[in-house]
Chains A and B, each alone.
Chain A
């Protein structure tokens, strides 16, 4: 009898250990999934300060209304979100509200995160609970009157915020829907790739239509128009290369998009990257013919363009090729490169002034770079070379003026 009991007890003990081990496996699976999803949401870009502790916040976000400081989202009970429940966290992600109902500034991209499922929100929360707590008080925001009044967020919400989880489109493939979920939700791509209006909002109908990012002076192109960054005529491989490694046979990422690839997209699985590519290719729409809208008189343009060829052959052709063919993917082609032909010439002007490196990624750990020409070329030469690359080799951009080049010399570099 006694021995039976002890065997039973032993078996029970063995079973509980097994169950506990299974639970533990399950928890660590959830935490790992949460970490992956936090990457997909690029939480670190905003919630980790340079040389700061992971997710301890305190990063300054300059906006047209003043400076916001991001929050500590480590599980510290006093200064972080250690006392939050999974419900509280979901409320922030889904509804843009603090646990007490207070309104969160839309600089936290809840307008996109609202599409995230409850299960994914819980996984991110489980992951955030598992990281080391950091005791660091949030820095108060430094916003100008009247923007320091959170009630104003109500107006923004009425205009621009549609609360609700992602609804799959049953007419589309599972892959397309997975891509849509990532791009519209955690990826918060529309936060930059939309025209930003005076209130700092994104109108739903304009989502993915492109816009100038305030304060940073980079243009985030439309992801729907093939005249901008619409990817309709890109191969799936070129798109996945671009998103995963930062370089591709068609073009490279730079500026704020380099940040997105560096901190977030390079970590996504092959399947998820492919799903995003399928979706992005799918949403591109044929565009109306380009409005002919150079503001420069014809004689001035043709002078600029012939000076531009001289500047180009001397300074640029060694990497980008005499015919703009480049040596892709490392030295991007400039012929038939949408990213320099767009209506807005902000990006190519800034590339010439500031140069750049694509992000170092697992797929491209030692990228090649482009030198800054701000100190080497005059405003007129910058305008000339940009006018040249926008119109040579069949490119369909328009010339730019020396004044436009001059204005971008003072654009912030970080």
Chain B
């Protein structure tokens, strides 16, 4: 156990947190019955988030509101830090998070990471077969001639992401994916330096973005949507959000 903890600082922190939450959860039943107090649970504490992200982070019908459930906790935490400081911009969220401390944001990230509602059925696509084929090629093989690495080289062969910092790309809608890639291209979304996604998105054209977003949104849910453990494969180049 101790060796386990020494091995990986970040993981140890999440582990400690998970233990704390498990302990808390054990008291939940008792606490939930305290008269005139809201339930002492994370679910009650994140009710401010659920009209947009769904009760368990499964997403809502709004195509720009992303699913949170099951994404790596480290990734979600990085996003919450970026929204809190205003580096990633979405004013309603920037405002909600402004005065919340780090450990609380970690607990929120851990909460949504540990929820596993089913992925939504994949949407039928409105783009042509050729466009989908181009998207598939970029995602699975990239385009070496234009310095575009395959998306799977970082997001995983099953596109389910890797702990602790790389998100899966399934269960997201095309509008959301292309908005995010656009935000990286125009510099309104940035990640910890070196910001590898900025390098990737910088090489994509408008047409590439449409194609890859459309193809990703048509993928069926995999049997096991969980992100793979840290270090399962090596990244083509370094990402600040994915410490070695």
User: Are A and B part of the same complex?
Assistant: yes
Q: When the two chains form their complex, are residues A369 and B99 in contact, meaning their CB atoms are under 8 A apart?
A: no
Q: Mark A residues whose CB is within 8 Å of B.
A: 50-51, 258-259, 261-262, 319, 327-328, 330-331, 354-360, 365-372, 374-376, 412-414
B100 contacts A367, CB within 8 Å? yes
Bits for B35-47, please: 1 = Cβ < 8 Å to A, else 0: 0111000001111
A370 surroundings in chain B (CB, below 8 A): 47-48
Q: A354-B95, A369-B48, A413-B94 are in contact. Are A327 and B100 (CB under 8 A)?
A: no
Taking Cβ atoms with an 8 Å cutoff, the residues of B that contact A are: 36-38, 44-52, 85-87, 91-92, 94-101, 103-104, 107
The answer to whether A414 touches B98 (Cβ under 8 A) is yes
In-complex Cβ contact of B47 among A258, A327, A368 (8 A): A368
CB of B99 within 8 A of CB of A262, answer yes
A374 x B85 contact (CB < 8 A): no
A365 in complex: contacting residue of B38, B51, B104, CB < 8 Å = B104
Q: Enumerate chain B residues within 8 angstroms of A375, measured Cβ to Cβ.
A: 51-52
Contact (Cβ within 8 A) B95 A359: no
Q: Are B100 and A360 in contact (CB under 8 A)?
A: yes
- Contacts A370-B48, A371-B48, A371-B49 hold; do A258 and B92 have CB atoms under 8 A apart? no
Q: Tell me, in angstroms, the Cα distance from A368 to B38 when the chains sit together.
A: 9
Q: Give chain A residues whose Cβ lies under 8 Å from the Cβ of B38.
A: 319, 327, 330-331, 368
Chain A interface mostly helix, strand, loop or mixed? loop
A30 to B99, CA, bound (A): 29
Is A413 in contact with B91, judged by CB distance below 8 angstroms?
A: yes
Q: Please give me the 7 A-B residue pairs with the lowest Cβ-Cβ distance, nearest first.
A: A369-B48, A359-B99, A413-B91, A413-B95, A262-B99, A360-B101, A50-B85
Contacting residues, chain B, for A371 (C-beta < 8 A)? 47-52
On whether A357 and B103 interact (CB within 8 A), knowing A50-B86, A331-B38, the answer reads no
Q: Which residues of B sit under 8 angstroms from A365, Cβ to Cβ?
A: 101, 103-104
Q: How far is the CA of A320 from the CA of B104 in the complex (A)?
A: 23
Partner of B96 from the list A330, A356, A374 (CB cut-off 8 Å) is A356
Nearest Cβ on chain B to A56's Cβ, whole angstroms: 15
- Chain A residues closer than 8 Å to B95, beta-carbon distance: 354, 356, 413-414
Least CB distance from A410 to B in Å reads 11
A414 and B45 form a contact (CB under 8 A): no
Smallest beta-carbon distance B96→chain A, Å: 6
6 contacts between A and B (CB under 8 A): A327-B36, A356-B48, A367-B100, A369-B46, A376-B51, A414-B98
Give Cα distance in the complex from A356 to B95, angstroms.
7
A275 vs chain B, min Cβ distance (A): 24
Contacts of A50 in B (CB 8 A): 85-87
The residues of B that contact A414 with a CB separation of less than 8 Å are 86, 91, 94-95, 98
Contact A354 B99 (CB under 8 A): no
CB-based contact B48/A357 at 8 Å:
yes
Q: Report how far A285 CA is from B49 CA in the complex, Å.
A: 40
Question: Given the complex of chains A and B, what is the CA–CA distance between A276 and B137 in angstroms?
Answer: 66
- Let me know if A51 and B85 touch, CB within 8 A: yes
Q: Using Cβ atoms and an 8 Å threshold, which residues of chain B touch A372?
A: 48, 51, 92, 96
Q: Which residue of A lies closest to B45 (CB)?
A: A368
- In Å, the complex CA distance between A358 and B103 comes to 16
Q: Tell me, rounded to whole Å, the shortest Cβ–Cβ distance linking B152 to chain A.
A: 32
B48 and A355: CB pair below 8 A?
A: yes
List B contacts of A355 (CB < 8 A): 48, 96
A329 to B164 CA separation, bound complex (whole angstroms): 36
Contacts of B46 in A (CB 8 A): 369
Q: A371–B87 Cα gap in the complex (Å)? A: 22
Q: How far is the CA of A374 from the CA of B52 in the complex (A)?
A: 11
B104→A366 contact, CB < 8 A? yes
Which residues of A lie under 8 Å from residue B92 when comparing CB positions?
354, 372, 374, 413
Query: Which of B44, B51, B99 is A368 in contact with, Cβ under 8 Å?
Result: B44
Q: Tell me if A369 and B94 are in contact (CB < 8 A).
A: no
A360 touches B47 (CB 8 A): no
Contacts A319-B38, A374-B92; A51 near B87 (Cβ below 8 A): yes
